Structure 1
């Protein structure tokens, strides 16, 4: 098998075109992260067998230097748990190459790890042992636990680590688009979930559209509009970007949490996973009696800017809503 880590497939272009792409992205303030995982289809799992992983890791080190010198802002690697345990010294070298700043680039580049682990305990341990800057896991995709356990996992990881190291994703790679995994009716709900959790939301191309071959164009446009409004809001509101995370309600059918930052407006994310309507009773000292609707997966039932009673909040079947209220001191 020939591993040519420093070459670009002729079908995709050439090195000069890649450099132009990176420069164009940087002019627009966009960072470029390169997925350099060696051969996803290796017969013995990530980075091959215990014998070959040393050779592959050594080859990868020179490739990392090459691509970082070409201006990429970070690298994504899968199988980090196995490589960091089988060849820990080489893993430390890989981390140093990516994360260490230079005179030309004083800020370190981003090292993103990808793991198949789904439990909060395993993901927490990996964050500590690998020292990656960001870890993409399967916490939200665990098929053998209910919504209650997933929310508890989010809470445990948030309590144990800086939210700058946490990432949330659904779909990708061989698993398919988000719409394929959760169903078309729940795409907006999960867009709202990923974009309001503490940490970094990870979307794959097409997830912003709820992309599925059978979907109607009108529904794709609706998903894109919802995604655009939500992502723009996250980018400008401090409470959503890096605010504290407070879990208010968590059951197998309902979820509610608060995002709070200093004296900024507070944001309340509410979800009903069930196929029937639900009434959420959110009453505590930190909450007002009413809040305003910012976005809803069903704008007919909960139109934007309408007021809702938090002590008797009605959510329709499989509906989610983002609410806000002002800081009052």
Structure 2
């Protein structure tokens, strides 16, 4: 649910880079043939995305209306933040798992969205928030009566409970039930009093949550992002690193996958597992397709900001080895730079456009299926509090243009230049840079499907790795610094790379087995 934030400054002027081919910049049409998948996912907060009915709130029809933009960008999947009914603006406290927030539209709108996305080769996953419900859920309201069968759907304190106990989320674990409950009742709610935790020791709870997942698969969803996946049984500080709690978590997610497979055996599941090390993330790759790589997000941003690789290549090698030991030969990973709980990448990088491009280039040349947070491709700024991290997507230079959402005021730093309209018109924009990199993953199979091998860097200002898919091997090199860097290509035991296949800017050259990479440039060699 939460992750540490960083300080932020204002946006700098954009770094100029060569023009993208015209076809990459032009909006795609529904009739355009589907390209090879990039494997890139795009996170959308529906409330902030695009408004089709003029109420200032984004809606599902707004996501459908902008699918051509997403196809042009090159993504092959979208993750919708919670779309269920909820009393909060963010939706991470659900009242009905088998309905759509009426502010966002209807089930028919979702089915239409899924159909149109699939026509474009875009998968759709939705946030499944099942560690807890809303305290306004009919389940919880019924549970306030100790005699209700729903009472055991939640966890209640007894006379031996330490009501001052902290939770594994760093908050107070036990919440007072209030006037509607029997006197003195307290329930487990590790994130907030408005979010009572479900009791997964109750088979009825498990059955209801599996039923909810099956329901959405039947509506056209391709899978789910699993919110707070580690906290089903990891509720208290003493549960952290407890093998028993981990085993219970994995047992539940295995049961959940089996239940969903009855409807769609290809259901995609990605988990939010907020752990600081790859070895702590790896066990979840048994029941899940991927987990968000939180420690890598920190490493990528630190490397871009410091202009030094800080041992990134060997660290990645160890990470993927840990993953493959559990998840098999294919590297199952969900790398990202930031999401709806963290300060936006551009803010973490103090508004430095060169560092932003470096971070994006590293992310989009890694194994697994990378995630991009909406507006990241525009260089949108955003720092705490949370609503400012989720502000309206800027489509037009004018803030009151058709489709712009107005539920939250935009940061003045995200001016007209940080809009789709402005950046589509500028061939040197960050939007064009992201589009180029995402399309690389479609055009170079090794970038999409290949494994990973760290390459010996010639200097700490370079990050370099090989990607091999069994048919071809490419070498990816990122110059993290503002000066030209060189690297030897005649490394014993390594393939001999002789051709510049892709580059983000001009000037890369190979002379006498020495690679020369200009400042802040990324290159793919064959």
Fold-level similarity (TM above 0.5):
yes
* Deviation digits for residues 50-75 of structure 1 (CA, Å, limit 9, x no counterpart): 98331695453332122122121101
Give TM-score, length-normalised by structure 1.
0.80
Count of residues paired in the alignment: 311
Query: Which of 28-37 and 177-186 deviates more?
Result: 177-186
Q: What is the aligned partner in structure 1 of residue 485 from structure 2?
A: 278
**1:245 CA drift (Å):** 1.8
Q: Which residue of 1 aligns with 2:332?
A: 165
- 1:312 alignment counterpart: 514
Q: Comparing 36-45 with 228-237, which one deviates more in the overlay? A: 36-45
Distance change in 2, residues 1:289/1:157 (3 Å): closer
Post-superposition offset of 1:316: 3.9
What is the CA RMSD across the aligned residues, in angstroms? Answer: 3.4
Q: Alignment partner for residue 148 of structure 1, among 294, 302, 310?
A: 310
- Determine which structure has more spread, i.e. the larger CA radius of gyration: 2
Q: Contact between 1:139 and 1:150, CA under 8 Å: does it hold in 2?
A: no
1:172-251, aligned counterparts within 5 Å?
A: 172-182=339-349, 183-212=352-381, 213=414, 217=422, 222-250=429-457
| C-alpha displacement of 1:11 | 1.2
Q: 2 CA distance for matches of 1:66 and 1:280?
A: 54
Mapped to 2, the partners of 1:158 and 1:244 lie a distance apart of: 9
Unaligned runs of 5+ in 1: none
Name the residue aligned to 1:114.
272
1:67-78 alignment, distance < 5 Å: 67-78=216-227
Shift of 1:311: 4.0
- For 2:213 and 2:517, how far apart are their aligned partners in 1? 49
Structure number with the higher strand fraction is: 1
Q: In the alignment, is the contact (CA less than 8 A) between 2:278 and 2:293 conserved in 1?
A: no
Quick check: 1:324 aligned with 2:324?
A: no
Distance 1:54 1:315, change over 3 A: same
Aligned residue runs from structure 1 range 67-146, under 5 A: 67-83=216-232, 85=245, 87-88=248-249, 89-98=251-260, 100-102=261-263, 105=264, 107-128=265-286, 131-142=287-298
Q: Deviations over 1:74-130 (max 9, x none)?
A: 0111222232637545433322223x144xx4x3211111122232222224434xx
Q: Alpha-carbon deviation of 1:36?
A: 1.2
Q: TM-score, normalised to structure 2's length?
A: 0.52
Which ranges in structure 2 are unaligned for 5 or more consecutive residues? 1-92, 136-165, 171-187, 234-244, 304-308, 382-413
Higher RCO (CA 8 Å, separation ≥ 6 residues): 2
Which one has a larger percent helix, Structure 1 or Structure 2? 1
Q: How many angstroms apart in 2 are the aligned matches of 1:310 and 1:3? A: 65
